[in-house]
Structure 1
Amino acid sequence: MSKVLVVVDHVDGAVSKPTLEVLTLARTFGEPVAVAFGAQAAQTAGAVGEYGATALFTVTDPVVDEALVAPRAEAVAQLVEQTGAELVLLPSTLDTKEIAGRVAIKINSGLITDAVEVSGAIGEVATTQSVFAGNWTVRAKVTHGVGVVTVKANSVPAEPAPAQPAVEEANVSFSEGAGRARITASEPKQASGRPELTEAPIVVAGGRGTDGNFGEVEALADALGAAVGASRAAVDSGWYPHSYQVGQTGKTVSPQLYIAAGISGAIQHRAGMQTSKAIVVVNTDEEAPIFGLADLGIVGDLHTVLPAVTEQVKQLKG
């Protein structure tokens, strides 16, 4: 059976949901084998095994935590050769996309990033992507070498297929230059109790129409167990942190449900959310461009509509 190498995205051993989705996808192409980095890499064994990985290679050399992505890319490239993997899959994050690009160059293979659908078979992997600020949906195919593909969160449902992965420290080496760019300081992101924006199945986003008051947006998000997002206009006005911006110059999301409240729908915002499976729009301006994407549109004041919806959600949840 063909082997598919999956790069694990984790924080202190806690595996991200997009990684579980990628492992699920990997099983449609062959036997998933995983690689995890850092001192807690071995702690990912339970999660990756639950979703079908038959082997877990750990890379715990301190350089992978101290340096930027170069050592990780070198390790992945070596593991492709050692395992005979015929496909490399990664969840789409800023770091993993850089790793993917470096790996593709090292192994002389085709690269596709931000796929929302991956199909075909080993040797003829095809993908669907949203490109050019979301104005086009395209199909692409890896035509050379081992395919290297990054997959957007929420592109496939994560489905368990329990296995007992063999855990092994990878036998890899690093070049002299791999560790030259190093992390000098970091601090943990303050926990909000809400899911990560790019991974959440539901996102409630606010824009200029909030007038700086995100209280109703946050209340609905908490009732739904959703993440909070914001438009560029809202973050540029200082109403919400830039790390929550959805759009071409912010984060790209593809949740099952996207609720846009008080957002007009400038093209840069649509580029970051229009691959959402279902879109609900609340806006006082019935001519707002974002209504063109809506599965359900409500012409009304978000400060009236959202509290009513929040109350109904709470009642239904009991």
Structure 2
Amino acid sequence: MSKCVCVLAEFRAENFRRVTFEVASEGRRIADVLGAEVCAIVVGHGVAEKAPELGRYGVDKVYVADDPALENYLPETHVPVIADMIKKCDPALVLLSASVDGKDIGARLSARLEEGLVQDCTEIVVENGKVKARKPIYAGKCLAWNEWADGAMPLISCRPNVMSCLPPSEEKKAVVEKVDVSIPIPRSSVTGLELDTSGRVGLSGAEIIVSGGRGMKEAQNFALIEELAKLLGAAVGASRAAVDSGWRPHADQVGQTGKVVNPNLYIAVGISGAIQHLAGMGSSKFIVAVNKDADAPIFSKADYGIVEDLFNFIPVFTEEVRKLKSTCS
């Protein structure tokens, strides 16, 4: 197959986001099966110098649109530019991240290009030359396989922290080609960005998350899991019950009406495990649950379960983690 596998990169704060490397790695695996190259589309400002590093994750060629007008994501500017670049590439399929921006871009591209989109996929395979993508549906209770008609160009957004990154090759660099694009004049503008400077690990890309639920009893008790999270280099999350009680901000909420996360390790503390919460963290690689109710639904999903009062267990567990870290340092 001569057509390339096209990857849409996400560039923020002068660096590519980790999910870009995950999507590029998945693109490389698919391209190897199809006998194709991997091309990437990078849109932003100050991206040209960073573009070659995508080659470390299997990208052969990078098409770059670098302009001050593209520094901050705006649907009115970015989507038309990306769509035009995709048309020039004429790829076999397009992969992007199912991040907040990625989901928005994917939906708009699907309408503009008149191609079928499958969002938030957790697995992609090639069978007899046809691309198939799997995604969770019904709050994660079912998994649906999707495929495209002959002649269609699949658009697929990949759930962050699910597709594994290839070991980076330090020697390989992608070929970079700057593309002249026509940038529409937007009707809106970004006047400023409020960045989190607290140093806390963000939920979306965290490899370890410690979440608290109704069992924490009050906001002050979240200090217990904040201490544990700091030792583990983890993000702090919360169930909807904890957020609705005013103990944590909505930005910390994990679940169907919050963030969907996919860490390597998810520690659920005092969380019963309602289906809405499981929909947001059920695809975590390893799940540890701490709850004094042995019949809590969370245990049916957990890889490791501790039936114990969290106020007895967490301080002891935190101290053991501290000792282990001190001996390893």
Instruction: Compute the TM-score of the two structures, normalised by the length of structure 1.
Output: 0.91
Please tell me the residue identity of whatever aligns with 1:202: I
Please tell me the residue identity of whatever aligns with 1:244: D
Structure 1 runs, 4 residues or longer, greater than 6 Å off: none
Find the partner of 1:225 among 223, 230, 233: 233
- 1:7-31 deviations in whole A, cap 9, x for unaligned? 1112122211111111110001222
Please tell me the residue identity of whatever aligns with 2:100: L
* Cα distance in 1 between the residues matched to 2:294 and 2:156: 40
* Cα distance in 2 between the residues matched to 1:95 and 1:122: 32
Contact 1:2-1:86 within 8 A present in 2 as well? yes
Contact 2:44-2:71 within 8 A present in 1 as well? yes
Please tell me the residue identity of whatever aligns with 2:16: V
- Worse-superposed segment, 136-145 or 225-234: 136-145
Which segments of 5 or more consecutive residues in structure 2 lack a partner in the other structure? 32-36
* Cα distance in 2 between the residues matched to 1:88 and 1:266: 35
Please tell me the residue identity of whatever aligns with 2:89: T
* Cα distance in 2 between the residues matched to 1:290 and 1:181: 44
Find the partner of 1:78 among 81, 84, 92: 84
Are 2:154 and 1:153 aligned?
A: no
2:4 aligned partner: 3
Are 2:125 and 1:116 aligned?
A: no
2:312 aligned partner: 304
CA shift, 1:175, in A, is 4.3
Find the partner of 2:296 among 288, 297, 312: 288
1:121–1:74 Cα change, 3 Å: farther
Is the partner of 2:29 in helix, strand or coil? coil
Find the partner of 1:241 among 249, 261, 264: 249
Provide the aligned C-alpha RMSD in A: 2.0
Find the partner of 2:175 among 166, 171, 177: 166
Please tell me the residue identity of whatever aligns with 2:156: V
* Cα distance in 1 between the residues matched to 2:174 and 2:234: 32
CA shift, 1:122, in A, is 9.3
1:41 aligned partner: 47
* Cα distance in 2 between the residues matched to 1:181 and 1:121: 44
Which segments of 5 or more consecutive residues in structure 1 lack a partner in the other structure? none
Contact 1:67-1:181 within 8 A present in 2 as well? no
* Cα distance in 1 between the residues matched to 2:26 and 2:54: 13
2:34 aligned partner: none
Please tell me the residue identity of whatever aligns with 1:186: L
Contact 2:45-2:69 within 8 A present in 1 as well? no
Identical-residue share of aligned pairs (%): 39
Question: Alignment length, in residue pairs?
Answer: 315
1:46–1:12 Cα change, 3 Å: farther
Contact 1:112-1:150 within 8 A present in 2 as well? yes
* Cα distance in 2 between the residues matched to 1:56 and 1:292: 45
Please tell me the residue identity of whatever aligns with 2:181: V
Contact 1:246-1:272 within 8 A present in 2 as well? yes
